[in-house]
Amino acid sequence: MRLSLNSLRPVLEGALDLVFGSLCLLCSGPAPLGSGGLCPRCRGEMAPLAGGLCPCCHGSSEPEEGELCRACRASPPPFDLARSYTAYLGAAREMVLAFKYRRRPGLARAMAGLMAPWAAGVLAEAGGFDVLVPVPLHPKRLRERGYNQAALLARRLAGALRMPVDYTGLTRVKPTAPQTGLEVDARFKNVKRAFRLLGEEQFASKRIALVDDVLTSGATAAECAKTLKLGRAQRVVVLTFAGALGTGPDDKT
C-alpha cells in the first residue's frame, strides 16, 4: 500500500495534537490536549440546552414537567424526537456560522467529535437506529456553497458511531428561499414539499437519525421527517449540533 502525505496528514496532526496541544479552532487561543480543538473558554460556552424542555422537540417553551410544549400538543411534529448537542449561542453559534457561511468545512470533524458520545446516548435511548440521513441541500445551493454541511457532519458522525449514511435517498427538489427573516408559519410553508425520496421503499421500516447543523424553527427537519415517514420510515430522530427552537436566527438552508 502506498501512503501519500495527504493520507498521513490526519495521523500526523493527531500525533502533534497529542504532544503539543493546538490552537483553538474558533479563537486561536491555546487548546490543550484532548480538548477537541477548542480552548477552555470556547469549549465552556457549549452548554446543553436549558430550561423546561419539551420531551419531543426540546423547544424551551417551558412545558409543564414532562409534558409536550404547546406547539407539539397542538400539532405533533412528524419526527419522533429532536435533540441538539448544544444551545445555538456564543461559541456554538460562531462555529455553525463559520462552518456554513465562512467556508470552513473542516470544522465538521471537531463538531462531530463533540457530538458523537452524546449522539450515541440519545440514539441508544431512542431504541437504536439503522442509518444516518443528512438534511439535503438543493443542487443549486450545493454548487454555490461547494459542500453540504449536514452531509459532512453526518459522514464524521457515521465514522464515530460506525453506522452507515445514506446521502442520496432523501433529495431536495425545491430551491427554497432562505429561511432567515421569515416568521415561523412562513418557514413551514417555504419548505413544504421541498423534499422527495429517491426510491419509494428506500427507508421503509428504517430507524433514521436525521442530521443537520442547526435546528431553529424545526420547519426543515419536520418536512424531511414527513417525507421519510411517507416512505414508511419507522422512526425519525433529529440530531443537530446546535438548537434554538422558537428563536429562529440564521437558518438559511
Q: For Zn ion, which is the closer residue by CB, 44 or 164?
A: 44
User: Which residues are within 8 A (CB) of 237 and not within 5 positions of it... i.e. 6 or more apart?
Assistant: 79, 80, 81, 82, 83, 122, 123, 126, 129, 207, 208, 209, 210
Q: Does 215 bind Zn ion (CB under 5 A)?
A: no
Among residues 10, 29, 51, 181, the one that binds Zn ion under rule CB under 5 A: 29
Q: For Zn ion, which is the closer residue by CB, 30 or 178?
A: 30
Q: Does 42 bind Zn ion (CB under 5 A)?
A: yes
Q: Does 39 bind Zn ion (CB under 5 A)?
A: yes
- Burial tier of 103 (Cβ tally within 10 Å: 0-12, 13-18, 19+): exposed
Cα separations in angstroms, 32 against 18, 37, 92: 9, 8, 19
Q: For Zn ion, which is the closer residue by CB, 38 or 153?
A: 38
Q: Does 219 bind Zn ion (CB under 5 A)?
A: no
Closest distance to Zn ion from the beta carbon of 124 (Å): 22
> In whole angstroms, what is the distance from residue 88 CA to residue 249 CA?
9
Closest distance to Zn ion from the beta carbon of 69 (Å): 4
Given the rule CB under 5 A, which of 23-31, 171-179, 205-213, 222-230 is the region that contacts Zn ion?
Answer: 23-31
Q: Does 243 bind Zn ion (CB under 5 A)?
A: no
C-alpha cell at 166: 445514506
- Buried b or exposed e, range 146-183, using 16+ CB within 10 angstroms: eebbbbbbbbbbbeebebebbeebbbbeeebeebeebe
Given the rule CB under 5 A, which of 33-41, 80-88, 121-129, 153-161 is the region that contacts Zn ion?
Answer: 33-41
Count CB-CB contacts under 10 A for residue 241: 29
**Contact predicate 137/145, CB 8 Å:** yes
Closest distance to Zn ion from the beta carbon of 207 (Å): 21
Q: 51-90: which residues touch Zn ion (CB under 5 A)?
A: 54, 56-57, 59, 69, 72
- Count residues near Zn ion (CB under 5 A): 12
Among residues 26, 46, 157, 158, the one that binds Zn ion under rule CB under 5 A: 26
Phi first, then psi, for residue 185 (nearest 5°) are -60, -40
Q: For Zn ion, which is the closer residue by CB, 39 or 228?
A: 39
Cα separations in angstroms, 189 against 176, 177, 246: 10, 11, 16
Given the rule CB under 5 A, which of 7-15, 35-43, 81-89, 151-159 is the region that contacts Zn ion?
Answer: 35-43
Closest distance to Zn ion from the beta carbon of 70 (Å): 8
Count CB-CB contacts under 10 A for residue 237: 23
Contact residues: Zn ion, CB under 5 A: 24, 26-27, 29, 39, 42, 54, 56-57, 59, 69, 72
